[in-house]
């Protein structure tokens, strides 16, 4: 019995409109002079507005004017006989030999093109062979720049395996998003061909843009100016980090280039120069309160937490898969209908009250109350306006697929009156879909429309077991609730009418995801399967304009193959690695793939306020990979941001078959209890409480194929909050203050540790507690102790002087600043700086804090007094070395803190030293 089933969240719809405010000019006075002045002013404003509009129009027209750019083959990795790189200069789609083909598919394979002169390259066009070809590049990257050795990523994408040429937009602006990016060299790097064991082939390349010197000269000038400013900022950062304060001030005064926002400079002054930790802490607190770290918090991945819901009472739905869940968010209710319990289809209807944590059975046999017959693999949506549930589709066993039973009945359940109504006996007879299963349904609440897409069609032809015809798939339909009318919007690509020019078609599928965004007014469709083919596309359909768009036309996978084969695509393999299957790595492995695998049974929900789509991936639907003991048996959770168009994998947890519990397992890595992998489960989202609910499913046990689950789970996703990041920053600042204090006044440091630092420690967190206890050991360390614990630095100090830890580490620091990571980072680098600073007693005076223009500030005085206390406590270092250590460690903390600030306010992320290789 096939009891796989998907669920979508019905959402409300709200149209958005743009408004334009017109500014009216004041009325003229009766004075003739004033009237003339006002008239002149009005005319000038009109002329100015007209001039600005003309300039803007010309500017836009300029940007849209593309020319075909001539280029030559500059460099290449390899080529097969007769398939030379120069073939891509000519577009001959009917000539199979008119292409460049790499000698093998061992990375890296590439083509580097050189333009006639620097140009603003807007688009790249890939020509193709007249029919699909296994050597077409499925994934590629394109780099560009003025220097062959220093290129940036312009595009990451892939070609469809068909005969239609494809054109892609290239990145054509610099980092500031306003300055045009001039290009002289373009490097095309194939990553994966459609036949994984075949060599990469490119048939034709056309570049479009503008290389007229009258156009590009201004762009080059602006770009070089932008580069110069960035170089100066890198120098300013380097000078300040290394303590060249005189050089820093001179360069800033002469160029008038600011390293960072004045607020950030203020933080550097009070923390690094003055050592005023209390003021620095208050400064950070104010920044967080003003929301300056909100962007950082929003960029962090969610933390997930599963919990098994133990409901009140004894009445609850039993074991099942292929059932359906829908949610009434306003009344805090979840409805469940039907499914397959391993032996029979069910027709019971249940409701779960979230507030009371209680299941109630409404009907045991709905067909006895004019409701639907027992079924599984159906779909339901909830209409929050009428508070009705709509149900369509079901799976039928092959033995009963007769004309009498092959009817697509359509039902409505009124949750207020608690009554069933059959809307239609067979939707196929009134312009709707045929009977199908494994389809998807969404509701557009504002337009009172239900959308139905995909699913495998059941027809009487399937009764004959000897039938060899291809399975039929349903297209995209809409049902208007108010008028009770069906409309077919898109037919399946294999439908008899799909070839007609006025008929829109789509490749239909099963096991896909579909959600509706009520503000963007778009359907989002991801993944699915068609026969044995996994469908990887991510499609959006705008319901008002009936336009389709492929979101992952340029997928972000690394696309590395596991094959070292050599094949020209002419039907025979020249030489291949027999030990390689040629398939890509599993989607949950460490291959860099960053989107859910369409070969899995996916469940998707959407949060229209957050502009996020959530996808839960679990056990594979493919029979030979469905068993819980299979290597691919795992749960993973993904988030797709509609703002950044990026996937994020929140977690992946592999199942431990030796787990004593059949419904949950212990992930040894993070000790989280969560549901075992499954398929045919159901997943709904509460966008008010921001919680996911999951019930039942098939665990895929080959030893007990009839087993179905009845466990009820809640998934909570949460991002770090302001108070968490504030507590973390306070810990970092106080930790460094304590470390300085411990060397000068151990007794005062002990009191500070017990009160100020203990206040910002989560004592329930074992890792934080261990780090807290480790800090106490600093009270008993002296110079001699540190010598015995010497560990090598990641990089050596620059210029023979004490390194600023930020200079050696900021480029490689992980931006996910968890409490444990930052604690260990600071602990491991503190002693390293102390050790190295002793060996640099002859460092230039420019590196000293005393050489700073603010040497009369309290920071230096405090450093001097703390140095005296440090010597009295048994310290052995020189005063110069001691102050150098203070500055290096403070600079390191400063760099850690500014990583949390908006990027347009802070110093460059890279370092000048990153570009110097000796």
The predicted-structure confidence for 529-559, as pLDDT tens digits, reads as follows 998 888 888 999 999 998 888 887 644 333 3
Cis peptide before 108 (omega within 30 of 0): yes
Q: How does residue 871 score in pLDDT terms, banded at 50, 70 and 90?
A: confident
d(CA 6, CA 148): 49
The answer to pTM > 0.75 is no
- Residue 52 pLDDT greater than 70, yes or no: no
The predicted-structure confidence for 93-125, as pLDDT tens digits, reads as follows 999 999 999 998 888 999 999 999 999 999 999
- Average pLDDT of the segment spanning 777-786: 63
Specify the pLDDT at position 618. 87
Specify the pLDDT at position 176. 75
- Average pLDDT of the segment spanning 868-893: 81
Give residues with Cβ within 8 angstroms of 673, minimum separation 6: 306, 307, 308, 664, 665, 666
Q: What is the DSSP letter of 377?
A: S
Write out the two tokens for 335: 């409805």
Q: Are 633 and 622 in contact (CB under 8 A)?
A: no
**Cβ neighbour number for residue 662 with a 10 Å cutoff:** 14
- Average pLDDT of the segment spanning 53-81: 71
- Residue 9 pLDDT greater than 90, yes or no: no
- Residue 809 pLDDT greater than 80, yes or no: no
- Residue 825 pLDDT greater than 70, yes or no: no
Specify the pLDDT at position 597. 82
Query: Which CATH class for the 67-211 domain?
Result: mainly beta
Q: How does residue 23 score in pLDDT terms, banded at 50, 70 and 90?
A: very low
Lowest mean pLDDT segment, chosen from 17-26, 162-171, 218-227, 585-594: 17-26
| Average pLDDT, rounded, for the chain | 79
- Residue 480 pLDDT greater than 80, yes or no: yes
Q: Are 734 and 828 in contact (CB under 8 A)?
A: no
CATH number of 305-462+470-558+595-718: 2.120.10.80
Write out the two tokens for 766: 């074992």
Specify the pLDDT at position 31. 42
Question: Who wins on pLDDT, 820 or 666?
Answer: 666
Question: Who wins on pLDDT, 254 or 634?
Answer: 254
b/e map of 300-309 (b: 16 or more CB within 10 Å)? Answer: eebebebeee
Q: Provide the percentage of residues in the chain whose pLDDT is more than 70.
A: 74
Q: Give whole-number Cα distances, 337 to 372, 574, 823, in Å.
A: 10, 56, 51
Specify the pLDDT at position 385. 96
**Cβ neighbour number for residue 218 with a 10 Å cutoff:** 11
- Residue 160 pLDDT greater than 80, yes or no: yes
The predicted-structure confidence for 161-170, as pLDDT tens digits, reads as follows 899 999 999 9
Specify the pLDDT at position 779. 80
The predicted-structure confidence for 583-625, as pLDDT tens digits, reads as follows 333 333 333 457 888 766 889 999 999 999 999 998 865 554 5
Write out the two tokens for 415: 């949750």
Q: How does residue 762 score in pLDDT terms, banded at 50, 70 and 90?
A: confident
Specify the pLDDT at position 534. 86
Which of 452, 384, 387 is CA-nearest to residue 424?
A: 452
The predicted-structure confidence for 359-414, as pLDDT tens digits, reads as follows 999 999 999 999 999 999 999 999 999 999 999 999 998 878 877 778 999 999 99
- Average pLDDT of the segment spanning 171-179: 83
Half-sphere exposure of 593 (CA within 13 A, CB side): 20
Q: At residue 817, what are phi and psi to the nearest 5 degrees? A: -90, 75
d(CA 780, CA 839): 23
- Average pLDDT of the segment spanning 323-331: 97
Specify the pLDDT at position 86. 95
- Average pLDDT of the segment spanning 571-581: 32
Q: Provide the percentage of residues in the chain whose pLDDT is more than 90.
A: 51
Q: How does residue 661 score in pLDDT terms, banded at 50, 70 and 90?
A: low
- Residue 211 pLDDT greater than 60, yes or no: yes
- Average pLDDT of the segment spanning 735-747: 88
d(CA 692, CA 712): 11
Using DSSP, state whether 239 is helix, strand or coil: helix
Question: Who wins on pLDDT, 886 or 360?
Answer: 360
Which residue pairs, CB below 8 angstroms and at least 24 apart, start in 527-532?
Answer: 527/596, 527/597, 527/598, 527/602, 528/454, 528/598, 529/598, 529/599, 529/621, 530/473, 531/470, 531/471
Helix 277-289 and helix 722-744, axial crossing angle in degrees, nearest 10:
170
Q: How does residue 630 score in pLDDT terms, banded at 50, 70 and 90?
A: low
Q: How does residue 791 score in pLDDT terms, banded at 50, 70 and 90?
A: very low
**Cβ neighbour number for residue 261 with a 10 Å cutoff:** 17
d(CA 538, CA 549): 8
- Average pLDDT of the segment spanning 619-633: 56
Lowest mean pLDDT segment, chosen from 92-96, 731-735, 882-886, 903-907: 882-886
Specify the pLDDT at position 195. 85
- Average pLDDT of the segment spanning 515-520: 96
The predicted-structure confidence for 518-537, as pLDDT tens digits, reads as follows 999 999 999 999 988 888 88
Write out the two tokens for 323: 């059932």
The predicted-structure confidence for 887-910, as pLDDT tens digits, reads as follows 889 999 999 999 999 988 999 988
Specify the pLDDT at position 210. 92
The DSSP-derived string for 18-76 is: ---PPPPPPPPPS-HHHHHHHHHHHHHHHHHHHHHHHHHHHHHHHHH--EEEPEEEEEE
Q: How does residue 311 score in pLDDT terms, banded at 50, 70 and 90?
A: very high
Specify the pLDDT at position 619. 80
Give residues with Cβ within 8 angstroms of 150, minimum separation 6: none
- Residue 319 pLDDT greater than 80, yes or no: yes
Specify the pLDDT at position 402. 77
- Ranges of each domain in the chain: 67-211, 218-259, 261-300+722-781+886-917, 305-462+470-558+595-718
């Amino acid at each position: 019995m096939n009891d796989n089933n998907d669920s979508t969240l019905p959402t409300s719809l709200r149209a958005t409109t743009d408004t334009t405010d017109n500014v009216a000019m004041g009325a003229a006075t009766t004075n003739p002079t004033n009237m003339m002045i006002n008239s002149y002013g009005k005319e000038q404003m009109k002329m100015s507005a007209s001039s600005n509009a003309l300039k803007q129009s010309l500017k836009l027209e300029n940007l849209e004017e593309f020319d075909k750019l001539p280029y030559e083959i500059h460099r290449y990795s390899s080529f097969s006989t007769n398939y030379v790189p120069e073939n891509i200069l000519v577009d001959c789609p009917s000539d199979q030999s008119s292409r460049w083909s790499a000698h093998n598919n061992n990375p890296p394979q590439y083509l580097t093109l050189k333009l006639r002169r620097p140009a603003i390259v807007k688009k790249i066009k890939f020509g193709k062979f007249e029919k699909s070809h296994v050597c077409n590049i499925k994934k590629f990257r394109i780099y560009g720049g003025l220097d062959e050795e220093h290129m940036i990523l312009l595009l990451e994408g892939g070609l469809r395996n068909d005969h239609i040429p494809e054109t892609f937009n290239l990145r054509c602006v610099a980092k500031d998003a306003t300055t045009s990016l001039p290009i002289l060299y373009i490097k095309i790097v194939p990553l994966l061909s459609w036949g994984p064991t075949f060599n990469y082939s490119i048939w034709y390349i056309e570049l479009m843009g503008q290389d007229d010197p009258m156009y590009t000269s201004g762009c080059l000038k602006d770009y070089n100016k932008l580069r110069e400013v960035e170089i100066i900022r890198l120098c300013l950062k380097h000078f300040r980090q290394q303590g060249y304060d005189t050089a820093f001030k001179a360069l800033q005064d002469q160029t008038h280039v600011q390293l960072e926002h004045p607020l950030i400079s203020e933080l550097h002054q009070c923390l690094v120069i003055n050592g005023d930790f209390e003021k620095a802490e208050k400064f950070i607190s104010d920044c967080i309160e003003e929301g300056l770290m909100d962007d950082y918090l929003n960029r962090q991945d969610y933390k997930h937490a599963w919990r098994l819901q133990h409901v009140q009472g004894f009445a609850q739905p039993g074991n099942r898969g292929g059932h359906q869940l829908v949610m009434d968010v306003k009344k805090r209710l979840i409805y469940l209908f039907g499914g397959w319990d391993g032996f029979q289809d069910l027709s019971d209807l249940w409701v779960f009250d979230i507030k009371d944590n209680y299941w109630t059975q409404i009907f045991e046999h709905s067909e006895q109350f004019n409701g639907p017959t027992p079924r599984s693999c159906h779909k339901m949506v909830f209409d929050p306006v009428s508070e009705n549930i709509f149900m369509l589709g079901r799976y039928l066993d092959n033995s009963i697929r007769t004309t009498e039973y092959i009817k697509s009945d359509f039902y409505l359940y009124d949750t207020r009156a608690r009554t069933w109504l059959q809307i239609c006996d067979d939707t196929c007879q009134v312009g709707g879909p045929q009977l199908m299963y494994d389809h998807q349904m969404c509701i557009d609440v504002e337009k009172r429309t239900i959308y139905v897409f995909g699913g495998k069609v059941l027809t009487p032809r399937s009764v004959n077991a000897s039938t060899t015809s291809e399975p039929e798939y349903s297209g995209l339909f809409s049902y208007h609730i108010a008028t009770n009318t069906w409309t077919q919007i898109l037919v399946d690509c294999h439908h008899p009418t799909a070839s007609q020019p006025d008929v829109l078609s789509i490749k239909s599928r099963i096991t896909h995801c579909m959600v509706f965004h009520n503000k963007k007014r778009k359907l989002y469709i991801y993944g699915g399967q068609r026969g044995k083919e996994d469908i990887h596309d991510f499609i959006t359909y705008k319901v008002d304009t009936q336009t389709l768009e492929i979101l992952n036309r340029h997928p972000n996978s690394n696309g590395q193959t596991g094959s070292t084969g050599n094949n020209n695509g002419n039907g025979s393999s020249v030489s291949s690695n027999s030990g390689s299957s040629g398939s890509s790595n599993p989607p949950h492995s460490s291959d860099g793939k960053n989107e859910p695998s369409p070969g899995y049974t996916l469940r998707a929900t959407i949060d229209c306020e957050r502009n996020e789509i959530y996808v839960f991936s679990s056990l594979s639907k493919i029979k030979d990979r469905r068993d819980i003991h299979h290597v691919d048996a795992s749960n993973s959770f993904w988030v797709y941001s509609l703002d950044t168009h990026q996937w994020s994998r929140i977690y992946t947890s592999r199942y431990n078959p030796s787990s004593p519990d059949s419904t949950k397992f212990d992930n040894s890595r993070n000790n989280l209890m969560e549901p075992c992998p499954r398929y045919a489960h159901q997943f709904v989202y509460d966008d008010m409480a921001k919680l996911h609910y999951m019930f039942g499913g098939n665990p895929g046990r080959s030893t007990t194929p009839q087993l179905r689950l009845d466990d009820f789970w809640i998934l909570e996703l949460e991002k770090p909050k302001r108070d968490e990041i504030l507590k973390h920053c306070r810990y970092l600042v106080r930790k460094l203050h304590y470390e300085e204090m411990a060397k000068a006044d151990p007794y005062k440091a002990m009191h500070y540790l017990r009160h100020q630092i203990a206040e910002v420690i989560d004592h329930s967190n074992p890792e934080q507690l261990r780090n807290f206890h480790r800090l106490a050991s600093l009270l008993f360390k002296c110079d001699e102790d540190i010598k015995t614990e010497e560990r090598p630095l990641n990089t050596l100090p620059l210029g023979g002087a004490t390194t600023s830890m930020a200079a050696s580490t900021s480029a490689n620091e992980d931006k996910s600043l968890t409490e444990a990571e930052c604690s260990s980072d600071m602990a491991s680098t503190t002693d390293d700086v102390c050790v190295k600073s002793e060996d640099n007693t002859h460092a230039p005076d420019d590196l000293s804090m005393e050489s700073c223009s603010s040497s009369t500030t309290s920071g230096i005085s405090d450093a001097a007094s703390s140095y005296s206390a440090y010597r009295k406590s048994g310290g052995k270092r020189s005063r110069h070395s001691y102050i150098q250590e203070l500055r290096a460690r403070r600079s390191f903390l400063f760099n850690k803190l500014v990583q949390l600030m908006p990027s347009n306010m802070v110093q460059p992320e890279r370092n000048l030293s990153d570009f110097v290789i000796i």
